Amino acid sequence: MFFALAANGTLTARPFGSPSAGSAAEFDYSAIYGKGSDHGVDLPAVPYAKLEKRLLRHVVTVEPGLPSGLIWTDMSRHNLYVSTTSGQAIRYGIGIGRQGVRWTGKGVVETIRTWPSWTPTREMRDRWPELEAYGEGVPGGLQNPLGARALYIFENGRDTLYRVHGTPEWWSIGRDMSSGCIRMLNQDVIDLSTRVATGAIIDAR
């Protein structure tokens, strides 16, 4: 889809063009999805060849004039985009919540946290009693469901309790299986966090 920013601040959608010229060589997947280290945490490699290519990081062409750092999603295709330079955006693969529990709407990124701790909400613990064991919280790290970064989404000044976050479960990208948040490969959410700032607009649809 092409996206344009309307006068009222909402995003309007039109068909995407093809990926920008030369973008196929933009990223070396063996490098960006290989083993690495982040803030003292050793990141395992992602077996990216097992994922559909549309779920891997890619440069795409979008409507010129979008502000840098604008985030939007295409839930039907399991993709998240962030605008970069004029006329271009980075596309990532995502996993999303099952129908009925996913967040859609327009919000802002209130906070970005590195290797955040995680505490399941009361609603989550009621829905999945096995999460009661984590009621006191889980410290940040590879086994934490929020992964390497979490972008905290607020709407009308209130915490939605939904996040854009990393995940160690690479196989969940491209699927509807989360408890409502938007999940990304750890390597991708780290990259996303370098391209946005607090206050960034996110439009999930």
Residues noted as catalytic: 165, 181
How many Å apart are CA 205 and CA 200, to the nearest integer? 16
List residues bridging with 74 in a β-sheet.
79
* Rounded (5°) CA angle 57-108-160: 105
How many Å apart are CA 76 and CA 191, to the nearest integer? 23
How many Å apart are CA 118 and CA 137, to the nearest integer? 5
Q: Which helix (H) or strand (E) holds 202?
A: strand 201-204
Q: Which helix (H) or strand (E) holds 96?
A: strand 96-97
Contact 162, 40 (CB under 8 A): no
